[in-house]
Amino acid sequence: MKHFVHASNWADGVIVANFYKSLESVFSENATRIALKLTDRNDWSYFDLSDRVNEIAAVLLNRDVRVGDRVSVQVEKSPEALALYLAVLKIGAVHVPLNTAYTDMEVDYFIKDSEPALFVGKSIRSDCDSLTLSDSGLDGTLIEQLNSLSDAVGSVETATLADDALAAILYTSGTTGLSKGAMLTDKNIESNAVSLCEYWGWQRDDVLLHALPIFHVHGLFISSHCALLNGSSMIWLPKFEVEQVFSALADSTVLMGVPTFYTRLLNHPSLTQEYVENIRVFISGSAPLTEQTFNLWENATGQRILERYGMSETIINTSNPLLGDRVAGSVGFALPGQEVRITGDDGSVLNHGDIGNIEVRGPNVFSGYWKKPEKTAEELRENGFFITGDLGRQDEDGRVYIVGRSKDLIISGGYNVYPKEVEQVIDQMELIDESAVIGVPHADFGEAVVAILISKTAEKPTLEALNEFLGERLARFKQPKQIVYVDELPRNTMGKVQKNILRERYAELLT
Ligand code: AMP
């Protein structure tokens, strides 16, 4: 016998639709079309996807997850992992994706901070209700629950939400080493998705090559939403593997990737203009695309990569145009309905061409950092402008150029590494006296993590010994690729380590 499960609706406030309502009407119009093309099992149609979303939503409700509750998720990429995210949206809960590389000790912090009603991860936890979803997504507790429920599952009602309802919390570490949860509302994600679909001329017949992780804004929101809102197909690859991606290019029309995707594909001996002529647009973001890569790509394929700029707090801010000139080294124009301005450290708006802080405003800008009102007040102005932490300039036409990061963020292979966090762990090693972690240019990763160390002992730890120590405490992508011992670190009069000097000094260490 079927019964109907209802998500509890927001009782007060202005009621607006839930982004998932827009998605589910697209899914039903495109029920027979392929949503996810899979390499290791049968493809999923849009009917299959919405069916799975409905079933997982029923499991979530059954575990007492309600509107506004957090669901923290640390699972490998799979069709079920996408369905889980959509199910969280459907019932009006708050999705909190966590990088799969985080160690258990790191996850402890995120659980404590986000206080989830449910954690779906690699293992069962004792500090909150939890379920697992196996790596293949085929079995594991959540799916087992689903199977036991499925006879009884009717249609789960999609929650209607308050105007400012949260859809997700994306954790993005700060230079202090403390991770901050960027709170994104349902409206933030819907407005940006709609805007991107128009700006990038998204079409139903597009086929997106999806090889990005889905614990980050790029793979989870930016790319997936464009395809889902159009009822387009995605070639759903578990990760970026150059041969697999190269062969999938032949059946795709859009590739969204980090610059590393492009540098790696450039080394493929069979990359030619003819091979990729069905690709409508190559898009890059999450880290700087060098002019060299932009030019090499154009030489190899005849196509100019469309570079755009975004972040966890704001999804996408600026983009090069679909039609019109895509300029190497520029991240393009503010999206329609958004504003960009460049300010000095005193907050004054600078003239065109002057370098300063990039600030953005628009319906995409997050509502603040989870449980961190002081941090929110520091970075989000009362007039709605968000101080991004990036430095740049804007020319007279409005094109934005990023010149660096005011925060010392390192972006290695598309992942953010915050030096302070790594330094704090290195400093726990007895044989190390001081450390300064920087990013240096690296042909493959864009930037690589390097630790500049002071050790007074005769027997200084090797890179292997250091990383063995870090292994339990920090994800692999945060661990140094190289270490350098020095007698002294350059410091300014205030005693602050001058990382700009270190970056210059070691700029060619790994090139
Ligand atoms: P995340 O929150 O992980 O997406 O990281 C956001 C940061 O990535 C931004 O603040 C920028 O520093 C950087 N970023 C994103 N896109 C670009 C780009 N196209 N060029 C340079 N940096 C970028």
CA 168/CA 193 separation, integer angstroms: 14
The predicted pLDDT at position 391 comes to 84
Do residues 501 and 490 touch, judged by C-beta distance below 8 A?
yes
Whether the predicted pLDDT of 339 surpasses 80: yes
| Co-location of 394 and 414 in the same domain | no
User: How does residue 144 score in pLDDT terms, banded at 50, 70 and 90?
Assistant: confident
| Residues 442 and 396 both lie in one domain | no
Q: Are residues 148 and 290 in the same domain?
A: no
Element (H, E) at 210: strand 207-210
Residue 268: inside a domain: yes
The dihedral built from the CA positions of residue 101, 107, 110 and 114, taken in this order, carries a sign that is: positive
- Which atom of ligand 1 approaches the CA of 415 most closely? 3
Contacting residues for 496 by C-beta, under 8 A, at least 6 apart: none
Q: Mind listing the pLDDT tens digit for each residue in 235-290? A: 999 999 999 999 999 999 999 999 889 999 999 999 999 999 999 999 999 888 88
Per the structure, the count of domains in the chain is: 3
Residue nearest to atom 8 of ligand 1 (CA): 286
Is residue 312 located within the same domain as residue 443? no
- The range of the structural domain enclosing residue 34 comes to 15-188
Query: Residue 467 maps to which CATH number?
Result: 3.30.300.30
In a domain, 208, yes or no: no
The answer to whether residues 387 and 435 belong to one domain is: no
Q: Are residues 430 and 391 in the same domain?
A: no
Residues having CB closer than 6 A to ligand 1 are 172, 217, 285-288, 307, 309-312, 331, 388-390, 402, 405, 409, 411, 416
DSSP 8-state symbol, 478: G
Q: Ligand 1 test: best mutation among 402, 410, 415, most atoms within 8 Å of CB?
A: 402
Q: What whole-number distance in Å separates Cα of residue 391 and Cα of residue 307?
A: 17
Half-sphere exposure of 50 (CA within 13 A, CB side): 24
User: Tell me, what CATH number does 394's domain have?
Assistant: 3.40.50.12780
DSSP H or E stretch at residue 242: helix 242-249
Token pair, residue 259, equals 């610059």
- Residue of higher predicted confidence among 122 and 74: 74
Residue finishing a domain among 353, 377, 405: 405
Q: What is the dihedral of CA 140, 145, 147, 149, to 10 degrees?
A: -170
| Listed residues 405, 429, 448: the one ending a domain | 405
Q: Summarize pLDDT for 2-49 with one digit per residue, the tens.
A: 333 333 333 344 445 899 999 999 999 999 999 999 998 999 999 999
Same domain? For 474 and 330 the reply is no
Question: Are 308 and 385 members of one domain?
Answer: yes
C-alpha to C-alpha distance for 182 and 341, rounded to whole angstroms: 21
Do 460 and 316 belong to one domain? no
Q: Give how far Cα 333 sits from Cα of 286, 306, 338, 369, Å.
A: 16, 12, 10, 26
Closest-lying ligand 1 atom to the alpha carbon of residue 416: 3
Same domain, yes or no: 120 and 85: yes
Which strand (E) or helix (H) includes residue 419?
helix 419-426
Calculate how far, in angstroms, residue 243's C-alpha sits from the geometric centre of ligand 1.
26
Q: Which atom of ligand 1 is nearest to the CA of 308?
A: 19
> What average pLDDT is seen over the chain?
90
Least confident range of 118-127, 223-232, 313-322: 118-127
In a domain, 267, yes or no: yes
- Domain for residue 211, yes or no? no
Ligand 1 atom at minimum distance from 409 CA: 12
Percent share of the chain, pLDDT over 70:
92
Q: Using CA atoms, how far apart are residues 173 and 219, in angstroms rounded to an integer?
A: 18
